[in-house]
Amino acid sequence: MPTPPDRKTFVLVHGSSAGGWCYRGVADLLEQRGHKVYAPTLTGLGERSHLMSGLITLNTHITDVVNVIRWEDLDRLILVGHSYGGWINSGVAEQVEGKIASIVFLDAFMPEDGQSVLDNSPRSCAEKALKRAEVSRPAPHPSVWAVSEKNQPWVAERLTAQPVGVALTPLRLTGALDRVPKKTYVRAAGYENPNFDRFYAKVKSDRSWRTYEIPCGHEMMIDMPERTAEILMEVA
C-alpha cells in the first residue's frame, strides 16, 4: 500500500530502568494520527529483563535500536531519546547517519566523545553494585524523577534494574549528531538536574536547535503524553 506523504516514522528510546511501555500514551496518540511508531525495549529491561547479564554494555543498547532501524528498513525517521536514551541517540546517529531526519532529546543526556555514563551521573549506585560484583543496580522510586503522584504506583510496578555495564563504556563520537537536519531538546521544567540544565542552555543558544520546556517532572511522556506527542509532531 502507498505511504501517505505526511506519514512519519518515530523510534522512541526509553531511559534507565524503563522500557518501551513508558511511551504507550505517546505512541497511541502518534499512531492515531497515522504515524508509524517503534518503541523498542533495551536488553535487560522491561519485558526483556529476563535477559539481564553482566555482558550488557552501552554498545548492546545502541545495537538494540540500530537493528530495529536496519531490519525494519527505516529511513527519514524521527529518533527520540529520553534521559539515558540520549546516550543511545548519540551512538545510533553515528551508525545510521543519513537515515535520521530529526533527532529529539527528551530531558536527556548529551555526551561528548570519549565520555562514559559514569562521567555524567552520580557514581555511588553503580560503584556500589560493581564492588558487590552485581550486574545491575536497582531502580529508584518514581518520586526521585518527580513523577506525578497519580502515576507513581503504575510506574513503580514496571521499573526494573538497570545494567551496570552500560555505565562503563566510553562512547566514540565523530560529530554525526551535528549533521542531523533537525535537532530538538525538550526540558522538563519540574525536574531539577544540573546536567540537563547545562545541556538545555548549550543548545538553546544554538540556532540549529529547537528547544521546548514542559511543566512537569522528568517522565514527561507519562505525565504529559499529549504535549509530548504534540512537540514530536511539530519537530518531525
Q: Which residues are catalytic?
A: 83
Give the pairing type, strands 162-163 and 136-137.
antiparallel
How many beta carbons lie within 10 A of that of residue 149, not counting itself? 8
Residues in the chain: 236
Answer left, alpha or beta for residue 194, where phi above 0 means left and psi between -120 and 50 means alpha.
Answer: alpha
SS3 44: coil
- Cell triple for 119: 562521567
CA 35 to chain centre: 19
**CB-based contact 184:105 (threshold 8 Å):** yes
Cα–Cα distances in Å, from 99 out to 66, 73, 76, 110?
11, 10, 5, 20
Q: Which residues of 114-147 are buried (b: 16+ CB within 10 A; e: fewer)?
A: ebbbbebeeeeebeebbeeeebbbebeebeebbb
